Structure 1
Amino acid sequence: MDITIPPGRVAGALTPPCSKSYAQRALAASLLADGESTLHNIEFCDDTRSALHCIRTLGAEVRQTGADTLSIRGGLAPRANRLQVGESGLAARLFTPIAALGREPMLIEGTGSLLRRPMHPMTEALRQLGAYARDNEGRLPVEVRGPLEGGELEIDGSLSSQFVTGLLLALPLAHRDTTLHVRHAVSKPYLAMTVSTAARFGVEISHNDLEEFFIEGGQRYRPAEFAIEGDWSAAAMMLAIGATAGEVRVETISSLSQQADTAVLTALVRSGAGLIDETKAVTAAQRPLRAFEFDATHCPDLFPALAVLASAAEGVSVIRGTSRLEHKECHRAEALREEYGRLGIEIDIDTEDIMRIHGGALHGGRVSSHGDHRIAMSLAAAALRADGPVTIEGAECVSKSYPLFFEELKRLRVR
C-alpha cells in the first residue's frame, strides 16, 4: 500500500499504543504463571498478536474481558508441535527458550524479514544449558526440545538483548540454578524491563550491572495484574514530529519509565527543541534546531526518529551505534541513508559505528519503507516539512507496532 504525505503542520495531543516490549514480556510471564493474570491497556499490533498466538499454542487460555483487557490462565502445556512467531524478533527469541522447557520437540517458524535475522546465539546457548536445539544455518526455523537444565553460560550480547531476555524468563523454571555472563551487553534498559517484569510475577533475577545474572532454578511464576504502559518508541516518533513540524503532546507516558527510548528526551534537549516534561505527558514543540551528538547503542530503535530530528537541524548531527541496525526488519542504517537521500538529505555511515546526518531542506518524491515499520514512520514524519508530497511505498508495515499511525498523523494536521 502506498501512502502520500503532503507537507504541513501539526498540533494536538495523542495517546500512543501500549509498549509492545512490555506487552510481550507480560504475555510470556502470564503463560508461565500458575493461575489467572490480568493485563490492562493491551493493544493489538502485529507483534503483540504474534505473542498472543504463541502463548495460546503453548497452553495459555486467553479471554478478552474488555476493550483493552485480557484474562490469561497460564500453564505450559503445548497444543501443537509448531510455533509460529510471525515477523516478531522478540517473540522468536522470547518463546524459543520457553518452548525448550518442555520434553516434546517444538519447531519455531517465522515469516518475512525475520527469516533473515540471526538465531544462532540462542540455539548455542540452549545446547550449553542442556536442551536440544537445531537451527537452519543460524536462522529460523529452529527445533528445540527440553528439558532446559540450567548451569553456567557465557553469551555474546552484542547482536541483541532479545536473546538474553528469552533466557532470563525461561531459566527460573529450569532444574538447576544458572549463572549467565553477558559479554558486550547492549540495550541494557530492555534487560532491566525483563528483570522488573519477572519480579511483578514473583520471580527473582539477581544481576551485576545487567552483565552477570544469577537465576535460581525451580522458581514459580505467580499470577499478576499488570497495566502495560505507553510505548516510548511510538512516543519518540511523535515527539520528533512535534519538534520539526508544530507541536505534539504525548499523553500517558512518563520520563521515569525503564523503556530505552526515553533517551529521545536527551536528543530533543540537545537539538534545542521546545520540551515540556510533565508527570504523565511530554510535549515537544518546533524551535530552530541545531545539530547534536547522541549515542544510540542502547536504544537503536530511536535511529529513525533521530533521523527526523537531525534532518531538520542546522549542521551535521552525529549518532553512534549504527552496528545495531543491521539485523532489524531491514538494514536500517542503509535504508535511512538511501531513502533520505532521495528526499535531498545526505546521510553518511562510516566504519566507526557512526551515522552523520546533514540537516537541510527536504524535497518531495517517492520512497520505500523497505518493509520496516520504523522506516515508514520516519519518512512520513520527515515529509511534513518537504517542499512537496512524499509517497511511501509499503506503508502498511506500520501495523507491526503502530497500526493507527497514519490516522493519528492525519488527525494532528492543522487544517
Structure 2
Amino acid sequence: MERTVRPALLRGAPTPPCSKSYAQRALALALLAEGRTTLRNLDLCDDTRRALDAIRTLGARIERLDASTVAVEGGLRYGRRAGEHCVLRPAADRLHAGESGLAARLFAPLAALADRPLLIEGEGTLLHRPMQTVADALRQLGARAEATDGRLPLTVCGPLRGGEARIDGSVSSQFATGLLLALPCCAEETVLRLSDAVSTPYLDMTIAAAERFGAAIFQRDYAEFYVPGGQRYRAVDYTIEGDWSAAAMLLAAGAVAGEVTVGGISRLSRQADTRFCEALARAGAVVVDEAHAVTVVRRPLRAFEFDATDCPDLFPALAVLGAAAEGTTVLRGASRLRHKECDRGAALREEYGRLGIEIEMPEADVMTVRGGAPRGGRVSAHGDHRIAMSLAATALRADAPVTIEGAECVAKSFPEFFEQLERCTAGAK
C-alpha cells in the first residue's frame, strides 16, 4: 500500500497505542498465572495479535470482554509438591510468531515448559534475525532446542529445569526476557549470567512485570540474575500503559511541524524510550511534562548528540529531529540497528537520501544526520513500521508530497498512525 503525506502543520492530541512490550510480557505472564487475569487497554497491533495467538497455542483460554479488554485463563499446570516441574499443555505443535522478534524470543523459553516438541516459526524479515542464543540457553537449562542455521524455525522441547546458563546479551535483551519469565516456574533455582547486556531498561520492565504477577527475580549489575525455582504466578487485573516508542514518533512530528499533546503516557514509565524527551530538549524543542501526557512545541532546532544504545528503537524518531536541526547531529548506538525488521541504519541512509537529507555512518556505532530542507518524492518503508513513520514525520515539512511505498507495515505496532497524523493536520487548519 502506498501512502502520500503532504507538507502540513500539526496541532492536536494524538494517543499512542498500548505498549506492545508490556502487552506481550503481560500476555505471557497471564499464560503462566494461576487463575483468570484481566488485561485492560490492550490494543491489537500485529505483534500483540501474534502474542495472543501464541498463548492460545500454548494452552491459555482467552475471552474478549470489550474492544480493549481480555480475560486470560492460565494454561500452566503447577506441580502439587515442591520440586515438581510445571507443565504447559499446548493446543497445537506449531507456534507462529509472524514478524515479531519479541514474540519469537519471548515464547520460545515458555514453550520449553511443555514436555513435547513445538516448532516456532516466523515470516518475512524475522526469518533473518538471530535465534541461536535462545537455543543455546535452553539447552544449558535442560531443554532440547534446535535452530535452523541459527535462525527460525526453532524446535523446542522441555521440560526446562533451571540451573546455570551463560548467554550473550550484546545483540538484544529479548533473549534474556523470555528466559527470565519462564524460570520462576522451574523446579530448580537458576543463575543466569548475561555478558555485555544492552537495552537494560527492557530487563527492568521484565522484572517489574514478573513482580506484578507475584514472582521475584534478582539481578546484579545486569550481569547476573538469580531466579528462585518453584514460584507461582498469580492472576491480576492489569492495565497496560501507553507505548513510548509510538509516542516518540508523534512527539517528533510535533517538534518539527507544529504542536501536539500526546496523552496516555508518563515520564515515570520504565520504558527506555522515555529518553526521547531528553533528545527533544537537547534539540531545542519546548517540552511540557504533565502527569499523563507530554506536549511538544516546534521551535528552531539545533544539532545535538545522543547515545541510543539502550533505546535503539528511537533512531528513526531521532532521525526526524536531526533532519530538521541546524548542523550535524551525532547519534551513538547505531550498531544495534542491523538486526531489526530491516537494516535500519542502511534504510534510513538510503530513504532520507532520496529526500535530500544526508545520513551517514562514519563508524560502526555512530550515525550522523545533517539537517536540511527535505524535498518531496517516492520512498520505501523497507517493510519496517518505524521507517515508515519516520519518513511520514519528515514529509510534513518537505517542499512537496512524499509517497511512502509499503506504508501498511505500520500495522505491526501502530495501525492508526496515519489517521492520527491526519486528525492533527486537520486540527491545524
After TM superposition, is the score higher than 0.5?
A: yes
Q: Deviations over 1:164-223 (max 9, x none)?
A: 001000111112111111111000110000000000100100111332110011111110
Could you tell me whether the CA contact under 8 Å between 1:192 and 1:210 is conserved in 2? no
Distance 1:81 1:93 in 2: 17
Work out whether 1:2 is the aligned partner of 2:2. yes
The gaps in structure 1 that reach 5 residues or longer are: none
Partner residue in 1 for 2:21:
21
Partner residue in 2 for 1:381:
393
Partner residue in 2 for 1:337:
349
Could you tell me whether the CA contact under 8 Å between 1:240 and 1:305 is conserved in 2? yes
Moved over 3 A (4+): none
Counterpart of 2:269, as a letter, is: S
Could you tell me whether the CA contact under 8 Å between 1:108 and 1:143 is conserved in 2? yes
Within the candidate set 128, 146, 162, 2:140 is matched to 128
Indicate the larger mover: 73-82 or 375-384. Answer: 73-82
Q: CA deviation at 1:352?
A: 4.1
Give matches, 1:8-407, under 5 Å.
Answer: 8-75=8-75, 76-407=88-419
The gaps in structure 2 that reach 5 residues or longer are: 76-87
Partner residue in 1 for 2:85:
none
Provide the secondary structure at the position in 2 that maps to 1:153.
strand
Provide the secondary structure at the position in 2 that maps to 1:378.
helix
Counterpart of 1:180, as a letter, is: L
Q: Deviations over 1:233-269 (max 9, x none)?
A: 0100000011100001001110010000000011000
Distance 2:236 2:207 in 1: 15
Q: CA deviation at 1:350?
A: 2.3
Provide the secondary structure at the position in 1 that maps to 2:357.
coil
Counterpart of 1:23, as a letter, is: A
Distance 1:339 1:199 in 2: 42
Provide the secondary structure at the position in 2 that maps to 1:219.
coil
Partner residue in 1 for 2:82:
none
Provide the secondary structure at the position in 1 that maps to 2:302.
coil
Could you tell me whether the CA contact under 8 Å between 1:31 and 1:74 is conserved in 2? yes
TM-score (norm. length: structure 1): 0.99
TM-score (norm. length: structure 2): 0.96
Indicate the larger mover: 232-241 or 344-353. Answer: 344-353
Provide the secondary structure at the position in 2 that maps to 1:355.
strand
Distance 2:90 2:116 in 1: 9
Q: CA deviation at 1:351?
A: 2.6
Give the share of equivalent positions with the same residue, in percent: 64
Could you tell me whether the CA contact under 8 Å between 2:43 and 2:68 is conserved in 1? yes
Distance 2:58 2:140 in 1: 23
Distance 2:163 2:394 in 1: 49
Q: Deviations over 1:284-309 (max 9, x none)?
A: 11001000000000000000000000
Aligned-CA RMSD value: 0.7
Could you tell me whether the CA contact under 8 Å between 1:34 and 1:220 is conserved in 2? yes
Counterpart of 1:376, as a letter, is: A
Distance 1:284 1:212 in 2: 39
Q: CA deviation at 1:77?
A: 1.7
Could you tell me whether the CA contact under 8 Å between 2:335 and 2:364 is conserved in 1? no
Count matched residues.
415
Distance 1:124 1:180 in 2: 13
Distance 1:218 1:140 in 2: 30
Counterpart of 1:101, as a letter, is: L
Counterpart of 1:386, as a letter, is: A
Distance 2:236 2:219 in 1: 23
Counterpart of 1:28, as a letter, is: A
Could you tell me whether the CA contact under 8 Å between 2:97 and 2:122 is conserved in 1? yes
Q: Deviations over 1:98-137 (max 9, x none)?
A: 0011110000001111001000000011111111001100
Q: Deviations over 1:305-335 (max 9, x none)?
A: 0000000000000000111110000000000
